[in-house]
Structure 1
């Protein structure tokens, strides 16, 4: 056990997060996502929700504030303006850890797949809610 580290952050996930550099992406995806086929590096957290994993990751990883967008969700197929309840949960998690300056952008399904394929890693969760997918861009840790 470690102090002040969310216990959901497995040793493999901590290694990935620590290895990532500024501007690298990490995708946190639901149980339906084809993660194994797409991942350069795959971390499996099958028993956890995407929102719990996102919350744990953002407890230790800053979002990139050098770019216009640093967090993306997948658009609902056939209705790009549709909202799913999980989107508001992602927004609340981002606001809790990073403040209200960051917005949750959206990507069309296949554009989301392409960005996930190029991500440093994909974290496959047991999330069963549809569209429970998010990509986060790592920022920098500044001296205090």
Structure 2
């Protein structure tokens, strides 16, 4: 245990977050996401909902401010303008927790998978709500 570090952040995940550089991306994925097939590095957070993990990660990792769209979600198939409930929670979590809040942008499903394959790491959660996936781009610690 450490003072000020959320206990749901495992030692391995903390190491990954620390090793990431500016511009590297991490995916927080729901339980249905094909994480094993996509991940270069995979962390498991079974039993933890995606917004809860997002809050913990944003407590130690800054979002990128040098480029556009540092936080991206998967667009709903067949209705890209729809905002699923879990995505609305992601936005409130970013608004309340991120060092520099950003507006979420959405990416088409298969483009999201392709981008996830390039991410530094994927954390698969126990999130059961559909579209509970988000990609975060790490910023600079000021």
Residue equivalent to 1:114: 114
Residue equivalent to 1:52: 52
Q: Distance in 2 between matches of 1:30 and 1:70?
A: 19
Alignment of 1:117-132 (within 5 A): 117-132=117-132
Q: Distance in 2 between matches of 1:8 and 1:52?
A: 9
- On the 8 A contact 2:63/2:100 being kept in 1, the answer is no
Q: Distance in 1 between matches of 2:73 and 2:131?
A: 8
Unaligned runs of 5+ in 1: none
Alignment of 1:68-83 (within 5 A): 68-83=68-83
Q: Distance in 1 between matches of 2:112 and 2:7?
A: 28
Alignment of 1:1-144 (within 5 A): 1-98=1-98, 101-142=101-142
| 1:29-77 deviations in Å (ceiling 9; x for gaps) | 0000000111000000111011111110000000000011100000000
| 1:87-123 deviations in Å (ceiling 9; x for gaps) | 1110011111236751100000001001110000000
Q: Distance in 1 between matches of 2:6 and 2:108?
A: 31
2:139 alignment partner, SS class: coil
Unaligned runs of 5+ in 2: none
* TM-score normalised per structure 2: 0.97
Aligned CA-pair RMSD? 1.0
* TM-score normalised per structure 1: 0.96
